[in-house]
Amino acid sequence: MKQPSENMQRMYAAKREKTLALIQGAIDEIEEDHRIVTKKELMALTGLSSGTFSQQHVKELLAKNRVCQFKPTGKVSQEGRRELNKDAEITRLSRELQRAQSRLQDLDIALDKSRKQSRKLKEENAELQQQLLLLRGKYQQLLEYLEVLGSDLSGIPLA
C-alpha cells in the first residue's frame, strides 16, 4: 500500500490536532457547567460526526479525559459521593440563580413599563388640569357676561 506524501501527512496531522482541540474545548465547556460529558453532547457542541468519535486519536483523548465510555464506574468512595453532592448542589444553585436573574430581568422590564405608563398618566393629568382651569375661567367670564346682560342666574350653578 502506498504511503501518503509528507504534505498529505502534515495536512492529516493538522486536521487531527484541530479536531482534538475542538473536542477538548467542548469537554472543558461541559465540565465547567458541571454536566456529564456524553458523546451525544460532544457531537452537538462540536458538529462532528459519530464516526469521528470512533477514530483512535479521538478515543485516546476521551480516555485521557476519562469521559464518555472511558468514565470510571464502580463504587464511589465517601469522598467521591460528597464531591458529587457538592457538584449537584452547585448545579442546582446555579440553575436557581439563573431563574432568579431571569425573574429580576422580567421585573425590571415590568417596572420600566409601569414608570413610563405613570409618567404618561401624570402628563395627561397635568394637561387636563390646565384645560379645567381654562374652562373655569371661561365659565366665570360667561357668568359675568350674562349678569351684565341682566340675565336671571338663579338656576345656574355658580362656581
The per-residue pLDDT for range 84-142, each reduced to its tens digit, is 778 888 888 999 999 999 999 999 999 999 999 999 999 999 999 999 999 999 999 99
Rounded to two decimals, what is the model's pTM?
0.46
Residue 59 lies in domain: 1-73
More confident residue, 110 or 71: 110
Residue at 145 is within a domain: no
**In a domain? residue 110:** no
Residue 126 lies in a domain: no
pLDDT band at 158 (very low <50, low <70, confident <90, very high): low
Got the DSSP string for 74-109?
SPPPHHHHHHHHHHHHHHHHHHHHHHHHHHHHHHHH
Domain count of the chain? 1
In a domain, 5, yes or no: yes
